[in-house]
Amino acid sequence: MSRLLIALFVAAGLGLAGCAMQRDAPMAAKPMAPVAPISKDAYDLAVKNAETQYKMDKDACSPRSGNAKDICLAEANGREKVAKADAEAAYKNTPKMREDARVTRAEATYSVAKQKCDELAGNPKDVCVKEANAVLVKVKADAKVDRVTADTQQDAATKQADARKDAIADKRAAEYKVAIEKCDALAGPAKDSCISSAKAQYGKS
């Protein structure tokens, strides 16, 4: 087995290990570096191994119950999706596939985070979900910027500027939702003041 494939399996296996809330999304924040393309046989083997590992991980969740089981299954499902996406990125070796792999990793982290938010209730839960979604939005936006940067140089400057503009708008929209959600924990004049401050900060009328 090639060193590249071994590294791929290790990354896939550890990508979601010990998933905490990870609001800074360290597993998805950095762009994937281009690598030498793997063969079709190596890709097929990576996919097969991912499916085998998923079955093992899923079986390991059986003794659990309630939300703990839901979290376990979300982690298992996420590991499989990340492993397959990483394999496809290494096989096709294009900026778009590397972007897709980063997004898949971010979505897997988000799915686990949402399950963990279910352990909360009321406004803390709402804030937890909004914060997890804000991280997902940021990673998707950054992945798009990096993919556009890596694309063909034709119209690269325009594409990158548009991507950055969209990224900033998406991030601010997500952050605004978190700010408004936090205001729901308040009442009366304090809540009104909180909402007004959030609107002023994010340029909402």
What is the four-CA torsion angle of 76, 81, 82, 86, rounded to 10 degrees? 150
Residue 3 is which amino acid? R
pLDDT tens, residue by residue, 120-147: 999 999 999 999 999 999 999 999 988 8
Measured CA distances, 81 to 16, 129, 204 (Å): 11, 21, 37
Residue-level pLDDT at 56: 98
The per-residue pLDDT for 9 is 39
Q: What is the pLDDT of residue 30?
A: 53
Query: What is the structure's pLDDT at 150?
Result: 78
pTM score of the predicted model:
0.68
Low-confidence ranges of the chain (pLDDT < 50): 1-29
Listed by start position, the domains of the chain span 3-201
